[in-house]
Amino acid sequence: MKPFVNLCLVALISLGTTGCVFIDGEYVKHDDWRDDQRNNREMISQLEIGSTRTAVVKSLGTPSDSEAFTQDGEEVRVLFYPTQRKHSDGETTRDETTAVIFKNDVLVGWGDRQYAEIRRQ
C-alpha cells in the first residue's frame, strides 16, 4: 500500500508543478498561450520604426517562425510572433502570427499589409 501512496504523492506533485519554470534561479509561472499572445500584441504595439532587430528580439523574445531574403540589394528579415489563436491544434501557423519586418536589421514595419507589400516588391 505504501508504494501506491508514494506514487499518488508523486503524481500530485507533478500536476502541481505543470507550467512552472525556473529562470536564473527565479520561479516563474507560465500561465498559458493567451498571456504570451497578449504580451506579444502589447509589445508589438509599442515598437518604434527604426529600432534594431537586436532590440526587438530582446523585448519580444524568439519568434515562432522567420524568413530572410534579399531585395534590391537589401537584406530583409521577417520575424513572426504569435498574436491570435485561430486553430485549436496546438501548433502556431503563420495566420496566427504578426509579421515584424526588418531591412538591414532596422525595423521598417509590422502586420499583414506590410508583409504583403514587402513580398510584392
Q: Are 80 and 63 in contact, with CB atoms under 8 Å apart?
A: yes
Q: Amino acid identity of 58?
A: K
Place of cell 505543470: 18
Q: Are 64 and 82 in contact, with CB atoms under 8 Å apart?
A: yes
* 56-112 pLDDT, tens digit each: 999 999 999 999 999 999 999 999 999 988 777 677 778 899 999 999 999 999 999
* 3-58 pLDDT, tens digit each: 655 554 555 455 454 554 445 555 555 557 788 899 999 999 999 999 999 999 99
**Using CA atoms, how far apart are residues 51 and 103, in angstroms rounded to an integer?**
11
CB atoms within 10 A of CB 98: 23
**Using CA atoms, how far apart are residues 72 and 24, in angstroms rounded to an integer?**
43
What are the structural domains, with CATH classification, of the chain?
32-120 (3.30.1450.10)
Residue 52 per-residue DSSP state: B
Does this model's pTM top 0.75? Answer: no
Three cell numbers, residue 9: 504523492
